Chains A and B, each alone.
Chain A
Amino acid sequence: MSTPDLVADSVVKRFADHVAVDSLSFSVKRGSFFSILGPSGCGKTTLLRMIAGFIAPDSGDIAIGGKSMRDVAPNRRPVNMVFQQLALFPMMSVGENVAFGLARRGMPKAERLKRSNAMLERVSLGGAADKRVDELSGGQRQRVAIARSLVLEPTLLLLDEPLGALDLKLREHMKIELKQLQAAFGTTFVYITHDQSEALVLSDHVGVMSHGRFEQLGTPQDLYYRPQTPFVAGFVGANNRIVGRATGTDGAILEVTTADGWVVRALKSGSIAAGDAVEVFVRPEVAILARNAATLPPDQPHHSGQVQSVLFDGANSAVLLQEERTRREFRIALPQTGQFSDLKPQEKVAFSFDPARAVCFAARAGAAGTDA
């Protein structure tokens, strides 16, 4: 097995009174697409800037390509970064932007020109070398920023929420393009984002970060189907969150009763004793909707509710219910068969979900009793 391109070993960074990055250790395999996903203020930008070398860790070490980066300045690291606002040089042409790093290495002009043009060709911007940066569209600028870094053949490419400034349509398009670029170049990408869909679509591995620590590190599928903490369950993908107390167990399945008396069942994660405050997470697509309770799977506990609103969004359509007795909100994804296309608000419906596909955690400190 080859050495990982990036190894962080108990990296710590404090700012005044708060710990931005809290003793973080992880490694990123060569040629993989690694994302750090977290809400703003979770420390992901600090982590990225430490990898790039703009700030030094208080303790711990970062190794890139097997070499410790302690006391190595950003301009000497085999790492390049795509900035959030791209930071293309407006005083230079597109070609000069791409050739900037090569020129700093003292490469002769002819060779520089050849390489930067070839790189522009690879990101489908052949012939744009003489254009001014502000003549390009948002997506083209994005590609120039990536080309400017990749032309230096870095061990690691760092990307700091580069899609944040784009509009939705372009963002969707660039997601696919980024993935294809990474596959084509085979460079190791470290990508930070607060957008869970970007992280899921793009990455081979994702670290979900909160308060300077990784809550969970795994494949997008792991995070989605097997969240290990309530934070990951709530942050990655849509989820219904039900807060209550453990009132009984049936093997791995826990019975949970909310404060207002709604009983649900879910798979236990971690150790939970009877009477503990817990949080249950049910994915909208796990629940099954029916007009007649008799058509629901007989082996699942049945619940009933009233349609509050229908959220039509093509393939992502969902219905927002209120559980009949407790008036708690519950979201269910609508199947694509169209059988519920005539669903109306106030209509009474039944629903159920497989307890084995719902997950239950011991409640986080301070989270008990509050609803999502």
Chain B
Amino acid sequence: MLNAAADKRWHGRFALALLLAPALLWLGSLIILPHADLAVLSFRERVGPRQYSASLAQYKTFFTEPLYWHVFLRTAVMSVIATFMTLLLAFPIAWIIAKLARGRAGSLLFIICLIPFWVSETVRTLGWMILLRESGVLPALLVKLGLTDVPVELLYRDATIMVGLVYTSLLFMVVPLVSSLESLDNSLIEAAYDLGAGGLSILRSIVIPHAAPGITAGCIVVFMLTLGNYLTPTLLGGKNSQWFTEQIYTQFITRFNWEQGAAFGFLLLGLSTALVMVGLRLSGQRFGDVMRRT
């Protein structure tokens, strides 16, 4: 009797372990192992051919070379702005999908948001280039409308990078927002309206507090995607993009300085973690609650 029960419990644990195995394997071999190796790399310095010693030199370089931390800060600020703009743009879209569109219209709108993501990010970004480059569609249109005398180069500007980043991130903001707005009981909005609140006041005191976990979740996802984006800033910003992931790429691939690249990688990880924590603290959200909503 007792044996059978123990057996059963053992079976249960075995099944759980089996179910978790792929995830643990993935986490261990693709995330933890490489990062452990990178951590080791970042804390050493080449002192001679095939000779390395432990040192903080890689991190020191980052702080002493203005270009590096300048790019680092620029990436952080641009990512925060891109996240905020994505939120501003995604909120009305999510509101329409969750509250105003009924039945099939809602799903249709959702699919319209989703369709661009069937195309690879590279192709989508190249599409932007076709539209915005000097000989592209939009500058030609501006000339035709008489707004500019000669075609303007619209690529390689910060605003262009921003447009690309927001466009790439939109869906990842819309999805958590829609799910959190859908769970908002319409009668709460009506009750607030009935008690004398106007539109803005309802948004501030009812809608945003209710959707806060969804807003935070969307912001975290978009911020991390933006901060770690390589393709969009490089293609749309060209040499002017000065995105931190480019610096990492350069260190690893062009300069073959893996130690420096690894240190940059960890700095970026530290930056995203720190900013997410600050964001959570500022919005008064708990990480666990937020993750359950995504």
Give residues in A with beta carbon < 8 Å to B. Answer: 52, 54, 73-76, 79-81, 83-85, 87-92, 100-101, 104-105, 148-149, 152
CB distance from A187 to the nearest CB of B (A): 15
**Interface band, chain B:** 10 to 19
Given contacts A91-B206, A104-B201, contact A85 B185 (CB under 8 A): yes
Complex-state Cα separation, A248 to B201, whole angstroms: 69
When the two chains form their complex, are residues A87 and B188 in contact, meaning their CB atoms are under 8 A apart?
yes
Considering the chains assembled together, what is the distance between the CA atoms of A148 and B197 in angstroms? 13
The reply to whether B205 and A75 form a contact with Cβ atoms under 8 Å apart is no
Taking a contact as CB atoms under 8 Å apart, the answer to whether A81 and B206 are in contact is no
Are A80 and B194 in contact, with the CB atoms below 8 A?
Answer: yes
- B210 an interface residue at 8 Å Cβ cutoff? yes
In the complex, are the beta carbons of B206 and A89 less than 8 A apart?
yes
Contact B191 A81 (CB under 8 A): yes
What is B's interface to A at a CB cutoff of 8 Å?
185, 187-188, 190-198, 201, 205-206, 209-210
A75 to B201, CA, bound (A): 11
Q: Looking across the interface, which residue of chain B has its beta carbon closest to that of A82? A: B191
Can you list 17 contacts pairing A with B, beta carbon distance less than 8 Å?
A52-B194, A54-B190, A74-B194, A75-B198, A80-B194, A80-B195, A81-B190, A81-B191, A81-B194, A87-B190, A88-B191, A89-B206, A90-B210, A100-B192, A100-B195, A100-B205, A104-B196
State A84–B187 Cα separation when bound (angstroms). Answer: 9
Given A91-B206, A91-B209, decide whether A75 and B197 contact each other with a Cβ distance below 8 A: yes
User: Nearest Cβ distance between residue A53 and chain B, in whole angstroms?
Assistant: 8
Chain A residue at smallest Cβ distance from B197: A104
Are A75 and B194 in touch, CB under 8 angstroms? Answer: yes
Pairwise interchain contact B187-A75, C-beta atoms closer than 8 A: no
Contact of B185 among A75, A87, A104 (CB under 8 A): A87
Contact between chains at B196 and A105 (CB < 8 Å): yes
Nearest-CB distance from A324 to chain B (Å)? Answer: 54
Q: A75-B198, A104-B198 are in contact. List 12 more A-B contacts (CB 8 A).
A: A54-B193, A75-B197, A80-B195, A81-B191, A81-B194, A83-B187, A89-B206, A91-B205, A91-B209, A101-B195, A101-B196, A104-B196
A225 to B196, CA, bound (A): 42
A90 vs B210: C-alpha distance when bound (angstroms): 9
A171 to B196, CA, bound (A): 29
- Given contact pairs A83-B187, A104-B201, A91 touches B193 in the complex (Cβ within 8 A): no
Q: Which residues of A lie under 8 Å from residue B195 when comparing CB positions?
A: 75, 80, 100-101, 104, 148-149, 152
B210 cross-chain contacts in A, Cβ below 8 A: 90-91
Chain B nearest CB: distance from A90 CB in Å? Answer: 8
Known: A83-B187, A100-B205, A104-B201. A89 touches B196 (CB 8 A): no
Taken together as a complex, chains A and B put the C-alpha atoms of A54 and B193 apart, in Å, by 9
**A76: chain B residues within 8 A (beta carbon):** 196
Task: Name the contact of A89 in the complex, choosing from B191, B193, B194, B201 (C-beta under 8 A).
Answer: B191
A49–B198 Cα distance when bound, in Å, is: 18
In the complex, what distance in Å separates the CA atom of A207 from the CA atom of B185? 30
Chain A residues with Cβ under 8 A from B205's Cβ?
Answer: 89, 91-92, 100
Give the distance in Å from the alpha carbon of A80 to the alpha carbon of B193 in the complex: 10
B192/A89 in contact, CB under 8 A = yes
Contact B197 A100 (CB under 8 A): yes
